Amino acid sequence: MSDYIPNDLLIEVLARLPVNSLIRFKSVCKSWYSLITSPIFINKQLNHSKTNTDEVLIRLHTATDKRNTIYCSMTTKNSVMSTRNWSSHLESNLDIILWNPSIRKSVTLPIPYKPQCPHMFVLGFGAHPTTHEHGWRGIGSYVPPRGIVEFMWSQVFMKGAVHWVANDPCVDVGYCNLVMLFDMGEETFYEMMLPLLTLAEQNPTSLSVKLFGESLAVLCRGQRDSGCCCIWVMKEYRVVESWTKLFNINLPGMFDRTSGFRKNGEVLLSTSNNCLFSFDARTKKIVNTGIRGSPHAFYVEPFIDTLLLGEKEDGPLQGASDFQERW
């Protein structure tokens, strides 16, 4: 029996392995190192990982010692979340840092100036929908049509665009909320209206935008300590009439805020005693994830195990070959 493995078959096998195994396999030989660190293989592994993951990344920020603890949750047979975690000290003096926890590598992005207050920044994070190129853009000349986004408000990248909940400051009385999106391919802002009398006229600080499966979702939190939250989903992308109220969460005295969703549709809730729970809206079952934090410390996003940034050195990115700048 021949020991020879065709190169195409080898690539298919390696692309299906977890990142921690691929990191070890870079030491097998020079040809494997070149393969695993090549952009073509990194993109292939990423595309495979996108369709074979049910993980979320949970960031627990502790302001007292400026430490970030990162938990990666994994679905188990009994639906209880098991986790692996990392700690990092990525807080720096207003630097913008990209960090890949899978490979423990970070790079610092160049910025044109550093304001005295970090709250002056609103960042959008995504990739070009067709070329997948890494670009670092200043879009000062492409001002949003109406909406204003605050620095702490949530964002979602889907369908090649970054989405935020925004507020129209031109309204004299009350609120006029909307979803503002920035198309990464066209480098253009667009707006999508929210349902009137429900989401559009709420205090914008009670709204957050999330990804629910493959759909855009907006969460509306009730009064503080009420334990109430309603979930709205846009069933057909960019069709305003398709906004649909999915379900209500009503757990008085139980939870403080909704942090995000798991791929199976369960809702991740942070409680008033600083614990993270997983809630099944269909069965009303609540499971303690075993993760504890401090008030308002949980941030939950979909997680994909990837080799991205693996071909770069730690530290600042310099030169047009790394990131394109246009300010």
Highest mean pLDDT among 97-101, 112-116, 212-216: 212-216
DSSP-derived secondary structure letter, 118? G
In the chain, where are the structural domains located?
7-46, 122-250
> 53 pLDDT exceeds 80?
no
Backbone angles phi, psi at 90, to 5 degrees: -85, -5
- Tokens for 22, please give them: 């691929």
- Rounded average pLDDT over 111-132: 70
Which residue type does 122 have?
V
Q: What is the mean pLDDT of residues 131-138?
A: 66
- Mean per-residue pLDDT, 177-185: 89
> The pTM is what?
0.77
pLDDT value for 90: 46
Closest CA to 290 of 31, 81, 17, 7: 81
Average pLDDT along the chain: 76
Q: What is the pLDDT of residues 87-111, one digit of tens each?
A: 444 444 567 778 888 888 888 877 7
For residue 231, what are the β-bridge partners? 219, 247
User: Both ends of the chain: CA-CA distance in Å?
Assistant: 60
The predicted pLDDT at position 140 comes to 60
Sequence-distant contacts of 59-62: CB under 8 A, at least 24 apart:
59/298, 59/299, 59/300, 59/301, 60/291, 60/293, 60/294, 60/297, 60/298, 61/297, 61/299, 62/293, 62/294, 62/297
Q: 17 or 297: which carries more pLDDT confidence? A: 17
CA dihedral for 90, 96, 100, 104, sign (positive or negative)? negative
pLDDT at 163: 93
